[in-house]
Amino acid sequence: MTESHAKYLIVGASHAGREALAAIRMHDPEGRLVMLSGEKHLPYSPTILPYVVSGRSLPERTALAGAEWFAENRAELVLDARVTGVDPAARAVRLADGRRWTYDRLLLATGAEPVLPPVEGLERVRHHVLRTLDDALALRRHAATARRAVVLGAGLVGLHAAETLAEAGLDVAVVEMRPHVLAEYFDPRASALIRETFERHGIRMLMGRRLERAAGTEPCRLGLDDGTELEADLLLVAAGVRPATAMLAGGPIATDRGILVDPRMRTNAEGVWAAGDVAQADGFLSGRPRVNGTLPEAVEQGRIAGMDMAGDADLVPYGGGLPLNTYGFFGRHAVAVGAAATPEGEGVEVHTDEAGGYCRIVLKDNRLIGLAAIDRLVDGGILWRLIQRRTDLAPVRDRFLSHPLETARALMSQGWR
């Protein structure tokens, strides 16, 4: 058994890990910095994978950071190093192949992994998931020969893949157990606009249906709870993800849905931080711990974790996570920031405007708490900060409701210049 030691050990090589690495190097130019990746590929973003399936991104050009970047940052990348155990008392991690790394400070940024819903027969039928580059390449290869596809789940991954498969000429059906697509981001009206676009492009949208049985291979036969029977040459399971915490099972690091962290991204174990899709930090609006698996949050959390690991005094603790995403579909563009799906009542004011695109603004006490837009130009980054800073919109309220883009830009400009 070989042993190695790093002052900073980062497990995981996507956005949170990369951002933490850069933040550490901003403060500590010397300490040995090692990133372990369970992958055989250079670091990439899971967000790029649907574009690899569609062919828009070439698999060999997905790297977020190459050898040059690691050399510039005087950091080492160890590929094919899957962590299977963490021992905070010994400050050590164990790898699948028996190797062991010890550390002074450890960041767990292992991301998330696809969930397989408990459906009879599903484990035994041939199916795809989409979380790794290898998954994307396998799906792309299979799509070239398949004729009929079924996508289980109408979240971002499922919808994106459904669009890609339809554009590649397959007959596509999407099965979603909830009544709406992208329900965590959009209100029912916005969801309906998105769903209708999919239907117009010939995709069957089977909403509020649950998959009950799966059997057979090429075609695979699928039975839904309302009696519908589907046949699929290609089955993609995109029914959600869960934080990749298996390596912590039975250990002392506290988890709920994800690894519980404080506003400095510290876990309950001395010398161990967590960030990104694997972490469960406080939500901005609820104040309760939630997993907020979006790319911008991974960046934010990774930076905070890295700064804290390196002892950077300029650290501003995490202000709390907000739902935040952009979504492009069939040439249209949607953005959702904050609690944009909050139903009317519940102490909030909702303003909906469908002239020239869709825009739904949710205010509470004249402060923005959420905004969703489809085919309407808004600056998600500015809106995010208006929510986080609890900016009082009372002086510009009417203008903000009629011209959210310009008014938000003016507010920010007054703030920075």
Q: Peptide bond preceding 219: is omega within 30 degrees of 0, i.e. cis?
A: yes
At residue 230, what is the residue type? L
* Residue 19 makes contact with another protein by CB under 8 A: yes
For position 335 contacting another protein by CB under 8 A, the verdict is yes
Number of C-beta neighbours around residue 145 at 10 A: 9
Count the neighbouring beta carbons within 10 Å of the beta carbon of residue 325.
19
Q: Which stretch binds another protein (CB under 8 A): 47-55, 93-101, 107-115, 128-136?
A: 47-55
In the set 382, 393, 400, 404, which binds another protein (CB under 8 A)? 382
Helix (H) or strand (E) segment spanning residue 76: strand 76-78
The yes or no reply on residue 312 touching another protein (CB under 8 A) is no
Instruction: Please tell me what DSSP assigns to residue 45.
Output: -
47 binds another protein per the rule CB under 8 A: yes
Candidates 380, 387, 391, 400: give the one binding another protein (CB under 8 A).
380
**Contacting another protein (CB under 8 A), which of 64, 92, 137, 168?**
64
**Residue 169 interacts with another protein (CB under 8 A): yes or no:** no
**Among residues 328 and 343, whose Cβ is nearest to another protein?**
328
- Does 340 engage in binding with another protein (CB under 8 A)? no
Interface with another protein: number of residues (CB under 8 A): 44
CB of 61 to another protein, least distance (A): 7
- Quick check: 352 binds another protein (CB under 8 A)? no
Q: Which tokens in the block code for residue 285?
A: 């609006």
Q: Considering only the stretches 80-88, 103-111, 132-140, 375-383, report the one whose residues sit in contact with another protein under the rule CB under 8 A.
A: 375-383
> What DSSP line would sit under 356-380, residue for residue?
TSEEEEEEETTEEEEEEEESS---H
3-state secondary structure of 277: helix
Which region, judged by CB under 8 A, interacts with another protein, from 138-146, 147-155, 179-187, 323-331?
A: 323-331
- Pairing verdict, β 211-215 and 220-224: antiparallel
Does 48 participate in binding another protein (rule CB under 8 A)? Answer: yes
Q: Does 172 bind another protein (CB under 8 A)?
A: no
| Cα four-point dihedral sign 158, 159, 165, 171 | positive
**Neighbouring-strand partners of residue 327:** 334
Token output for 317: 């603790």
Using the contact rule CB under 8 A, the part of the chain among 112-120, 137-145, 182-190, 400-408 near another protein is: 400-408
Tell me: does residue 81 bind another protein (CB under 8 A).
Answer: no
| Cβ at position 292, least distance to another protein in Å | 13
Residue of 40, 55, 56, 217 that binds another protein (CB under 8 A): 56
Task: Name which of 266, 315, 259, 265 is nearest 290 in CA terms.
Answer: 259
Whole-number Å distance between alpha carbons of 82 and 79: 8
How long, in residues, is the chain?
417
What's the CA gap between 317 and 307, in Å, rounded?
Answer: 10
Q: Which of 55, 117, 208, 381 binds another protein (CB under 8 A)?
A: 381
Q: Is 185 in the site for another protein (CB under 8 A)?
A: no
Q: Is residue 290 involved in binding another protein (CB under 8 A)?
A: no
Residue 394: CB atoms within 10 Å? 11
Tell whether the torsion through CA atoms of 232, 238, 239 and 244 is positive or negative.
positive
- Burial of residue 413 (CB within 10 Å: 0-12, 13-18, 19+) is exposed
The answer to the question of residue 408 lying near another protein (CB under 8 A) is yes
Residue whose C-alpha is closest to residue 109's, from 43, 47, 155: 43
Residue from 230, 337, 340, 374 binding another protein (CB under 8 A): 337
Tell me whether the omega of the peptide bond preceding residue 50 falls within 30 degrees of 0, making it cis: no
Task: Work out whether 333 is an interface residue with another protein (CB under 8 A).
Answer: yes
What residue has token string 């469960």?
280
**67 interacts with another protein by CB under 8 A:** no
Beta carbon of residue 8, minimum distance to another protein (angstroms, whole number) = 19
For position 398 contacting another protein by CB under 8 A, the verdict is no
Distance between CA 279 and CA 236 in Å, rounded?
Answer: 26
Residues of the shown chain interacting with another protein in the complex, contacts defined by CB under 8 A = 15, 19, 45-48, 51, 56-57, 61-64, 295-296, 299, 303, 324-326, 328, 333, 335, 337, 377, 379-382, 384-385, 395-396, 405-410, 412-414, 416-417
